[in-house]
Amino acid sequence: MIFELLHAPFPEGYGDAILSLEACKEHLRADSDDEDFLIQALRDASIDFVERYCSLKLGPAAGIEWSAAGFPRGAEVLTLSMGPVTAITSVAWVNRAGLPVQGSPADYRINARGDVLPRMGARWPGDIGGDVRIVFSAGYPEGKAPPSLLAAVRLFLGHLYKNREAVTDRGTEAEVPFGVQQLCGQFRRVLI
């Protein structure tokens, strides 16, 4: 099944709620205010990288849109590719007659892993003639993101700040630091 997680820009203040500008500057040992805009942009890029790499939101986020060509069969789980899922806002699809159908979020449940399933004893809708679109909320509660993921954000921020032209002293491209991958590895969900 082909699915797509639609891009959504960070809500106002999202990056600061994850890692404040002051914490970033302290980590980078940057005393001047001259590079605040750059540091905030690199921080947001670092958060975005870690979130996409791990398929997790480090802070609460609403209105995330996911679409696919259909539902799973029977009562199989549906993994929304961004977690931890905290609420289903809407479920919509196109039926075989080509008409839009709006499902009720109450018809679906979220398991402990954050996967979505039909309510107990139910099955996924079978009258699918077009794309399925689910809008949901996901993310760790504010201030509750795992420390190793926050460390990965800091480490990647430092890497981007030091290598802001994407080259090293030797003139070759700089790669994602090994430590970032190691810190994120235990949280990464690879979806196939």
* 70-96 tens-digit pLDDT: 888 877 888 888 889 999 999 999 999
CATH of the domain at 53: 1.10.3230.30
The average pLDDT across 14-22 equals 96
Report yes or no on 155 lying in a domain.
Answer: yes
- Which of these three, 120, 138, 156, is where a domain ends? 138
65 and 134 part of one domain: yes
Report yes or no on 70 lying in a domain.
Answer: yes
pTM for this model (two decimals): 0.84
By the 8 A CB rule, do 3 and 65 touch?
A: no
The domain tally of the chain equals 2
33 and 65 part of one domain: no
161 and 99 part of one domain: no
Cα–Cα nearest to 75, from 125, 9, 12, 16: 125
CA-based end-to-end distance of the chain: 9
110 and 133 part of one domain: yes
Residues, the chain:
192
Both tokens of residue 46? 């670092």
Report yes or no on 175 lying in a domain.
Answer: yes
> Residue 150: which domain range?
3-58+142-185
User: What are the φ and ψ backbone dihedral angles of 100, each rounded to 5 degrees?
Assistant: -70, 140
The upper half-sphere exposure of residue 172, i.e. CA atoms within 13 Å in the direction of its Cβ, equals: 2
83 and 123 part of one domain: yes
* 111-141 tens-digit pLDDT: 888 888 999 888 888 888 888 999 999 999 9
124 and 158 part of one domain: no
pLDDT at 174: 60
105 and 150 part of one domain: no
Please state whether the peptide bond connecting residue 9 to the residue before it is cis, i.e. omega within 30 degrees of 0. Answer: no
By the 8 A CB rule, do 77 and 116 touch?
A: yes
Report yes or no on 190 lying in a domain.
Answer: no
By the 8 A CB rule, do 94 and 128 touch?
A: yes
54 and 65 part of one domain: no
126 and 83 part of one domain: yes
